[in-house]
């Protein structure tokens, strides 16, 4: 996964959310937002664009949790929203991750 950092963090409504690229996810998962750990894992074998899409998808899940929306939205609908938001953002913005000190 060239030009995609192995570890970084995102700020979600003032909460630091670690993101880690890993080999540890099952083959059927590109990424996951872990509720208890409040982190995002991204599967290592993706292209940079796919990793960005996965990050955006999981970021949407994290926003839903942080904003309390998951309590009032069915999981299947949340999945559709997360996927569509990741596509819309990726199609409209040239994203790159800032280096933070």
Report pLDDT for 99. 63
Each residue's pLDDT tens digit, 33-87: 999 999 999 999 899 899 999 999 999 999 999 999 989 999 999 999 999 999 9
Average pLDDT, the chain: 92
Residue 67 tokens, joined:
């904003």
pLDDT of residue 14: 92
Which class for 58: exposed (0-12), middle (13-18), buried (19 or more C-beta within 10 A)? buried
> Which residue is listed with tokens 């670690």?
18
Q: How many CB atoms lie within 10 A of CB 9?
A: 14
Find out whether 8 and 19 touch, Cβ atoms under 8 Å.
yes
Residue ranges per domain, the chain? 7-92
- State the CATH architecture for 7-92: Orthogonal Bundle (1.10)
- Nearest-angstrom CA–CA distance, 87 and 52: 10
pTM: 0.90
């Amino acid at each position: 996964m060239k030009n995609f950092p192995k570890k970084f963090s995102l700020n979600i409504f003032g909460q630091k959310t670690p993101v880690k690229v890993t080999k540890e996810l099952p083959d059927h998962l590109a990424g996951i937002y872990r509720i208890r750990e409040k982190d995002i894992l991204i599967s290592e074998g993706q292209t940079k664009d796919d990793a960005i899409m996965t990050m955006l998808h999981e970021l949407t899940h994290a926003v839903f949790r942080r904003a309390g929306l998951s309590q009032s939205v069915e999981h299947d609908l949340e999945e559709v929203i997360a996927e569509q938001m990741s596509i819309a953002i990726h199609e409209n913005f040239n994203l790159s991750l800032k280096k933070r000190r």
